[in-house]
Structure 1
Amino acid sequence: MKRVFVCRLGILLKALNMFRGEIFAYPLFLQKELHAATNAHFYCTDIACRYWPYLEKVAISMPELGSLLQMSPFLSVMHAKAHSTKCEIVWSGRPLDGAGTTAGEEVEMMNSYLSRCALTTKYMTKSAGNDMPTVHAIGWNLWKQISLHLSLSSRYIKTVRRTEMANKKLEDLCSELGCPENRVLEWVRDVRLWATDDSIHTSCSSQHALQHSIERFLVCIRKKQVCIITLTATRFIICGERN
């Protein structure tokens, strides 16, 4: 098994062999190597909400790793859907400057490509089994570099369109509710404050805590309902186009 780090364009930067399964020490080592070689400002992982407290504890006992706390973590888009509502709000990369349109699933694409070697490397010797994924990784980076101009132009067009759509939705929401844009931004800050505030269970009475718990579950259910409706409509459109 391998742990890899890729950039937002899908180019493989660092990789290592895992001998103990999924432990936090592996991404910590890769992050340290990446931070020393590049000037990265953020990183994306599907366990950002669990990895960040671990990194804070390690930085206390090992001060030389304190510089890693300057990198902002966030959850990948697909994995954030499986987390709780508060976790998705706090660790989402959408409000992070410079990472708003990063899906965070580039590592999964790389792993899907390298998984083709699994059918052949298990019949090889240990040395050849290590060399085969390396050759495939070099070929993957070469293919990404050759098609870099196409991916950059395509991503730029998609980002511009998404920005225009988001601005249009914000204007429609402001006109529908009859409130200025700064009021909507205040609501966004209130939601993020609600997601980060865990003192409600200790400072409030049991009745208020139960009320807030019910409200939190209601938000989760409605969010899941919207996701299911959107996914069903998308599948229906795709099937209709194929037919």
Structure 2
Amino acid sequence: MTISNKTRKNLWAKSGNRCSICKSELFSQKSKTDEVNIGEECHIISSKPNGPRHKPNLDDYDNYGNLILLCRNHHKEIDELFETYSEEVLQFIKTTHENWVSSSLKKAVGEDKKEQPRFLSRITSGKDLLEIIYNSYGYRTDYEQVETEEEAEFIGGIVQSIIDYGDISGMVEANERVKMGFQLNEMLKDIENKGYFLFGEKKIEDIKFKKGEIDNLPIATIVIKKKENLEILKINLNE
């Protein structure tokens, strides 16, 4: 079987034209004649006997529930690191991302007017950043529209590095976490030297799955904004 047009449209629509891991835009038009598509419709459970996360005798490997939308880099990563990216982890990433897309769209069209404005604190130390990402079960990341390839490389690398630190933070000894805090502090200095501020928080949330709910999951939110962004509120706590 192959992925049907209906399934393909459903997957792209619910994923918001974004990679489910790094949130990169997948299909864009750089000019009137130049279109770029780095999106790939990836199988969570491979139909091939030697493929990643393979299970035999599934009724349909090409159904919507077995597909996740990713950029090329993360497609390669989940298939090479299939023990890290298990079926359960990918289903969580898929569900979390699609919930994020749905919530973002509702806010954009005014369907979430009852929700109060959210304020994120600026992160100024590696220790504080590590406390946010430590043992987090999922990540929400956001950043401003990048204008150059160099900027995209920098922001994309920062986002991925933070997620990577979070993923291994619960598996290392205390002395290694201290080193992580130092390395993250150096990363924050680099971010600010490049003209950005980093904001974040960790919240316990209920994540809904098709088969039920998993309660009390720590989710980290990381936002990168240019220093001159008008959304940033500067508050003098001494006044």
Q: If the length of structure 2 is used for normalisation, what is the TM-score?
A: 0.25
Instruction: Please tell me whether Structure 1 or Structure 2 has the larger radius of gyration of its CA atoms.
Output: 1
1 or 2, which has the higher helix percentage?
1
